[in-house]
Structure 1
Amino acid sequence: MEQEINTEELGDKIVRVLKTIYDPEIPVDIYELGLIYDVMVNTDSDVKILMTLTTPNCPVAESLPREVEERVKSLDLVKDCEVEITFDPPWTQDLMSEEAKLELGML
């Protein structure tokens, strides 16, 4: 019998991983920057992450989603991870957490 996974607990672990990934141009992690729009976990341990980039021609447009995918897949409970990039809605500084704004001297 397959073990029932706690999707909420797994979601928290995923968020902790996302907070270790930084935008190379901004000294703030991608979660606090507001680049992560949604993290979906199903009971099969498949993860889908909807994220954006600070700009469509972001220099890490290729590598950052791949890094997110690989880091999340490295979690024991995650079977698969798909990262989807969207620019709808476009990222703005309003999406940043208070912590990120403070870090960047915007408060």
Structure 2
Amino acid sequence: MTDKELEVIGDKIVNVLKTIYDPEIPVDIYELGLIYDVFVSEENNAKILMTLTSPNCPVAESLPVEVEDKVKTLKEIENCEVEITFDPTWTQDMMSEEAKLELGML
């Protein structure tokens, strides 16, 4: 698979991630800065490194499953694994300008 093909698949994954919203904040998880990295292997397996707004997040169990399930709907993806990390800890500084604007922080 070429770098260009991997980039296209990565972009498709990001587009899927932008359809998933934090239930407490009306902004998608990508713009919130909860997605730290997206990896796609030569075997078309995706790995998403992400965080939550807090370790006590009410969707700590369901959000990673939703991310996995939605990414797996892409025909290019064989499997998806989500890894949750709290290093670095999420802060509001990680939000995109679009997210900050949406939340009236700009």
- How many matched pairs? 104
TM-score if structure 1 supplies the norm length? 0.95
TM-score if structure 2 supplies the norm length? 0.96
Q: Which structure 2 segments of 5+ residues have no match?
A: none
Mapped partners of 2:55, 2:6: distance in 1? 31
Tell me whether 1:82 sits opposite 2:81 in the alignment: yes
RMSD: 0.7
Q: Which structure 1 segments of 5+ residues have no match?
A: none
Mapped partners of 1:69, 1:90: distance in 2? 22
Q: Deviation per CA, 1:44-70, whole angstroms, max 9, x where unpaired?
A: 100000000000000000000000000
Partner of 2:34: 35
Mapped partners of 1:67, 1:97: distance in 2? 22
State percent identity of aligned pairs: 75
Mapped partners of 1:47, 1:14: distance in 2? 9
| 3-state SS of paired residue (2:19) | coil
Runs of 4+ deviating beyond 2 Å: none
